Copies of this chain bind each other. A is one copy, B any other.
């Protein structure tokens, strides 16, 4: 453990040293949800999107680890393709994905990565899907009291302002920011903000609930 953390203190910590990855769960609202999920997983594998990722599925969600750069690009491309495939396979029906993206806590116990040496990551580039998505997004810079890193809300406010300039952030909601746009742009907004804060704050988590094909606001 300490060896990995020491290594991560050097400039340019790798995705593996930082523990860059996500948990994702996919929720097609239809009777044949098993076929839709397994089909979407098969589609992403057939497209080669899982080649450099580590996937572990359990009863609640799937862990997706990205051990090599460009980790954020791989995760964003996989997530976008997975949700798009599920939407297509359910004929545009209601599909929701819940995503937790994490970085900076590789051992899941200790998070004392030094602030120096955190990588600056290029924004992800994901082709538009033609699918409209609405999402609720929250970002958690996990500072320690007494550490450097500033105020946690300052990082969050800067990320929201950036998302507003991108055009994906619409209205603030209680505890989350609503993102609306092409699925690829919604995913990229959250992934880029998470990586951007991760250049300053070692341990950063972001959650994203992505909804496609919802029949109406009243039934969300």
Q: Which residues of A contact B (CB under 8 A)?
A: 19, 21-23, 25, 27-31, 33-34, 37-38, 56-63, 65, 94, 96, 98, 100, 102, 105, 108-111, 134-136, 138, 140-153, 157, 172-176, 178, 203, 205, 207, 209, 211, 214-215, 217-220
Contacts and interface: CB of A to CB of B under 8 A. Distances in A.
28 contacts: A19-B174, A21-B175, A23-B173, A25-B209, A27-B29, A29-B30, A30-B30, A37-B219, A60-B134, A60-B136, A60-B211, A63-B175, A100-B176, A102-B175, A108-B172, A109-B153, A140-B205, A141-B142, A142-B142, A142-B152, A143-B145, A144-B151, A144-B152, A145-B149, A145-B150, A145-B151, A146-B146, A146-B147
Q: Copy number in this complex?
A: 2
Contacts of A149: 145
A152 B145 CA distance: 8
B173 A96 contact: no
Interface of A is mostly: mixed
A60 B178 contact: yes
